[in-house]
């Protein structure tokens, strides 16, 4: 992956960071590209969590996405690393979850071609919000209340506005297959980006990984918890 050497908030720490064993709990090519673009070396593990939390239990959409990301991290730790020898256990597990919210309704990945068409039709000509929840799980650091690991979570939000779309535009985009693995049924970094008249907030958050806020939160943890010592 391309390393972005300029303006990287973690560049001064990258050698220390890369002495740690880091796992990205996501098979999303976009997340792999964005984390790798910071110069961070990591292995990939996929979560077996079904992502089936009951949305009605959450008053706020951002709590839903943060809880999903946290549950993914805990599932990976519990299934792959709990009880293993210390040197087999990573120093950090990173997970993320991205959702699209329109008029208070959470849109995740479409379940079918028709579902994708309905999603994009509902987004057409309107503004929606993209939330990404991110979790850091540190297996070798104790939690504040003595838990077996330290957890840190945060979220980022970005407002996205769509141009009014014709049925032809929507159906031909859905037929490329691109919407099927993406929250809200579109990817801003591909052809779906042509639908977007503007965004307010972090572009990479819409791709699925809020790069700036990730770096900011990571630096805070490094300073408070001596993670790199």
CB neighbourhood size of 134 (10 A): 27
Please, where are the H alpha helices in 97-210? 113-123, 167-174, 203-207
- In the numeric block, which tokens belong to residue 41? 């070396």
Return the closest-CA partner of residue 134 out of 50, 35, 225. 35
Spatial distance between the Cα atoms of 49 and 124, rounded to a whole number of angstroms: 31
Residues annotated as catalytic are 97
Spatial distance between the Cα atoms of 39 and 4, rounded to a whole number of angstroms: 7
Spatial distance between the Cα atoms of 119 and 174, rounded to a whole number of angstroms: 10
Place of tokens 């805990």: 74
Q: Identify any residues that bridge with 196 across adjacent strands, giving them in sequence order.
A: 162
Spatial distance between the Cα atoms of 25 and 135, rounded to a whole number of angstroms: 10
Spatial distance between the Cα atoms of 224 and 229, rounded to a whole number of angstroms: 11
CB neighbourhood size of 164 (10 A): 10
């Amino acid at each position: 992956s391309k390393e972005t050497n300029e303006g990287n908030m973690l560049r001064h720490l990258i050698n220390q960071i890369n002495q740690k064993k880091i796992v990205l709990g996501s098979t999303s090519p976009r997340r792999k590209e964005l984390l790798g673009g910071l110069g961070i070396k990591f292995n990939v593990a996929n979560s077996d969590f079904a992502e089936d939390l009951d949305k009605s239990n959450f008053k706020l959409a951002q709590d839903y996405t943060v809880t999903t990301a946290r549950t993914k991290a805990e599932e990976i730790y519990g299934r792959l690393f709990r009880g293993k020898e210390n040197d087999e256990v990573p120093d950090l597990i990173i997970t993320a979850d991205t959702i699209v919210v329109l008029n208070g309704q959470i849109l995740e990945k479409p379940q079918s071609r028709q579902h994708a068409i309905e999603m994009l039709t509902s987004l057409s000509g309107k503004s929606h919000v993209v939330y990404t929840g991110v979790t850091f799980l540190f297996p070798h650091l104790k939690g504040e209340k003595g838990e077996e690991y330290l957890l840190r979570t945060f979220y980022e939000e970005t407002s996205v506005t769509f141009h009014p779309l014709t049925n032809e535009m929507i159906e031909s985009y859905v037929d490329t297959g691109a919407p099927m693995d993406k929250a809200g049924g579109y990817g801003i970094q591909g052809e779906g980006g042509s639908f977007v008249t503007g965004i307010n907030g972090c572009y990479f958050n819409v791709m699925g990984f809020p790069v700036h806020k990730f770096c900011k939160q990571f630096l805070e943890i490094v300073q408070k918890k001596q993670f790199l010592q």
